[in-house]
Amino acid sequence: MPTIPNVYDAEPIPHAAMAEVQRILGSGDLFRYTADQSPVAQLETEFAEMMGSKYALAVSSCSAALFLSLKAIGLPRDAKVLIPAFTFGAVPSAVIHADCIPVLCECGDNYRIDLEDFAAKLADVSAVIISHMRGHTSDMDAIRKLCDQAHIPLIEDAAHSLGTTWHGQSIGTLGAIGCFSFQSYKLLNAGEGGIMITDDPDLMARAVIMSGAYEHNWKKHPVLQDSFARWQNKLPLYNQRLNTLSAAIIRPQLDALPRRVANGRRNHDHVAKQLNQSPWIAVPEKLAPEERAPDSIQFNLCNMDADRTRQFVDTAAAAGLNVQVFGQSRDNARAFWNWQFLTDVPELPKTRAMLMRACDVRLPARLSVADCDVIARVILKAAETVMRPNRALQQV
Ligand SMILES: *Cc1c(COP(=O)(O)O)cnc(C)c1O
């Protein structure tokens, strides 16, 4: 049997980063505000330009970016923030960190926002975070329209959506603020880190100060200086800056992004096509305006009861492939009922039903098409083994 590719290994960091890291280590200059043009400032300029945004602020994580976004918007304590019920536990956590209350919106079996539930809950909230979970874009035309009509600020958690477009426009530029992650499992890998982008100078000035641009360090940001003067000394300093070494590790990866996006999409679509031939598996279609940049694949199990679902996971695991059903493992951070730090976890039957049969397999861009074939075969065979044991046996 062919060996199962390791889907958790990272791609090597480009050599250019190694030289730059060595140079920085030699200088000892690791703090973004000592130099006038630190690698962090350069990363911000390059990232903003790449996304077609006016301003960018690099921070310590995407969670920090989400937190600072809510603070920059100026939400009062206990303001309600609408988030998808299908997201990573860091998202409701960022809302709580910002002294706000997360309100969970139902998601459908295509992993996207349920618009009926969204419209019903919108009147009661002060802000919206759309998490494009696993890079699945919800109907942003409808969501933007509803938010605009109600004058509710929209923040995009684009941690999984770097390189994704909607009607050709970059995800992360559709709302007031877009937030991205540089954690190792995302498309740009610095171990940890994040960045936020916006066209609004006032929001950016507030976020810059609160990220830890104390005293006159904000002068090193190319943002309207009037906005800074207005907020100086009026906002807390949460110190969530990015380290210079992290920026040096990310910058040479920006050029690799188009290749990673293209290969990730190729790998995903290649596996999806094969999986969709199984009567037991369905990979939901993307929405029409969406061009995805996936580094993993999600699919729904069809007509498998709980026992067989477990058998399916065990069979794939025995063949060497880790398939996670979001709702089946006891501590999955993407299953809303595990967010026991919330004071009120509502029942959300649609999202729960989806999580109980939605599978998650990493499919990093560095895998070859042959690697993807091996993965697809293991998944198809595991479904066949569980659902048609006699037929599967004959095929061995
Ligand atoms: C990874 C991730 C985050 C958090 O990113 P960090 O940089 O680790 O804080 C937020 N939202 C989603 C959807 C993520 O996948």
8 Å CB contact between 102 and 83: yes
| Percent of the chain's residues with pLDDT above 90 | 90
pLDDT band (50, 70, 90) for residue 389: confident
CB atoms within 10 A of CB 3: 8
**What number does the ligand 1 atom closest to the CA of 157 have?**
11
- For a ligand 1 pocket test, name from 181, 187, 296, 362 the mutation site with the most ligand atoms within 8 angstroms of its C-beta: 181
> In this predicted structure, what is the pLDDT of residue 25?
96
pLDDT at 66 over 80: yes
Can you say whether the dihedral through the CA atoms of 368, 371, 377, 378 is positive or negative? negative
- The region of weakest confidence among 90-104, 169-183, 222-236, 367-381 is 222-236
| Percent of the chain's residues with pLDDT above 70 | 98
Once rounded to an integer, what is the mean pLDDT over residues 155-173? 98
Q: Please give the Cα distance from 84 to 91 (Å, whole number).
A: 9
Give tens-digit pLDDT for 283-297.
999 999 999 999 999
> In this predicted structure, what is the pLDDT of residue 35?
83
Mean pLDDT of the chain: 95
Q: How far is the CA of 379 from the centre of ligand 1 (A)?
A: 27
353: closest CA among 335, 338, 329, 371?
335
Residues with CB under 6 A from ligand 1: 61-63, 87-88, 90-91, 131, 133, 157, 159-160, 181, 183, 194
> In this predicted structure, what is the pLDDT of residue 396?
47
Once rounded to an integer, what is the mean pLDDT over residues 25-29? 95
Residue 361 φ then ψ, to 5°? -135, 130
**What number does the ligand 1 atom closest to the CA of 66 have?**
10
**What number does the ligand 1 atom closest to the CA of 63 have?**
9
Q: How far is the CA of 391 from the centre of ligand 1 (A)?
A: 42
Once rounded to an integer, what is the mean pLDDT over residues 54-62? 98
Once rounded to an integer, what is the mean pLDDT over residues 269-288? 98
CB atoms within 10 A of CB 369: 11
Give tens-digit pLDDT for 222-250.
877 778 888 889 999 999 999 999 999 99
8 Å CB contact between 25 and 244: no
Once rounded to an integer, what is the mean pLDDT over residues 294-303? 97
Q: How far is the CA of 92 from the centre of ligand 1 (A)?
A: 11
- Estimate the crossing angle of helix 90-97 against helix 62-73, to 10 degrees: 40
**What number does the ligand 1 atom closest to the CA of 193 have?**
7
Q: Please give the Cα distance from 133 to 83 (Å, whole number).
A: 11
